[in-house]
Amino acid sequence: MLLPIGDDNVGRTTPPLITWAIIGINIAVFILLQGAGMTRSGEVFTYGYSAVPYEITHNTDLTGPVALDGGNAPQGRVSGRRNAAPPAVPQAPGPSPIWLTLFTAMFMHGGWAHIGGNMLYLWIFGDNIEDNFGHLKFLIFYLLSGLVASFSQILLNPDSVIPTLGASGAIAGVLGAYLVMFPKNRVMALLPLGFLWTTVEVPAIVVLGFWIVIQIFSQYTSTFEHSSGGVAYMAHIGGFVCGIILSFFLRRRL
C-alpha cells in the first residue's frame, strides 16, 4: 500500500489555521482526556463520549456493560465480572443530550497508531482544501463530513452498541474534496518493496483513488464476513462521498 508523506503545496496562500487547530485538539483530547489509552479515567471517558449507534437511534445513554447477541443488539445490563456471560460491551455515562457524542467522537482515537495515521492524512491534505475554502467554510465542511460519516455507519447497523470514534470519517471528506479539486497534485508516498521502503511521487488521483477502492472492497468483504475488524469502513465511504459533493458548492473557482 502507499503511505503518503507529503504533497505539492504550490499556490497555497494562507496558513492552515483550522487544520492545525483540529490536529492540536485531537492530540490534546487523546493525551489529556483519554489518557493516551493508559488510564482508567481515560478509558471511562472514551466509552462515555464515543458515538454508539444504539444511543443515537434510541436517544438513550447506556451507562453500564451491555450484553450482545449475534446482531449486536442490547440484551440488558450484565455484571462486570471477567467471565460474565453473555459477552458484553463496556459503556459509560456520556454527555447530555447524548447526540453530542457525534461531535465528541470526531476528536477521539483508539491508540497511537490510530491518531498518528489520521493526523498525518489531515496534515498532508487538509491545508490545500482550507486554503481554497477559507477557514470558516473549511471548519463547517469538516464537521459536516464527520457527521455524514457517522450517520453512514449508524445506518448500516442502527442497533449496534459498539462504540465508534476517530477523525477518519471527517478526514475522508477532506480526501474526497482533494480528489476533485487537486487530482493532478503530486503526492510523495512510501511504497513497500519486500522488507524495504522506497519513496515515489504520484498524482493525488492515484493515491486517493487507491485509498477509496480499498475502503469499498473492505466494506464489501466485511459485509459477508459479518466483521469489520474494528474499522468503520462505511463511515470512510460516507465521509468521502460527502466531501466530493460539498467540494462543488464550497470551492473557489480560480
Q: What is the pLDDT of residues 137-166, one digit of tens each?
A: 999 999 999 999 999 999 999 999 999 999
Sign of torsion, CA 60 62 63 67?
positive
Name the DSSP letter for residue 163.
-
Greatest extent of the chain over all pairs of C-alpha atoms, in Å: 62
Q: What is the pLDDT of residue 254?
A: 59
* Beta-strand pair 3-7/186-193: antiparallel
Identify the CA nearest to 115 among candidates 25, 14, 242.
25
Q: Measured between alpha carbons, how far is 245 from 90 in angstroms, rounded to an integer?
A: 36
The answer to whether 6 and 188 have CB atoms below 8 angstroms apart is yes
* Residues facing 6 on adjacent strands: 188
pTM (two decimals): 0.90
Using 50 as the pLDDT threshold, list the residues of the chain that sit under it: 70-73, 75-84
Domains and CATH numbers, the chain: 3-36+98-250 (1.20.1540.10)
Listing DSSP states for 83-134 in one string gives T-SS-EE------SSGGGHHHHGGG--SSHHHHHHHHHHHHHHHHHHHHHH-
Q: Measured between alpha carbons, how far is 254 from 250 in angstroms, rounded to an integer?
A: 13
Q: Measured between alpha carbons, how far is 108 from 100 in angstroms, rounded to an integer?
A: 13
Q: Measured between alpha carbons, how far is 77 from 105 in angstroms, rounded to an integer?
A: 23
* Residues facing 29 on adjacent strands: none
Return the residue matching grid coordinates 475488524.
Answer: 229
Residue 201, SS3 per DSSP: strand
CA atoms within 13 A on the CB side of 63: 5
Q: What is the pLDDT of residue 81?
A: 47
Note the Cα 177 to chain centre separation in Å: 16
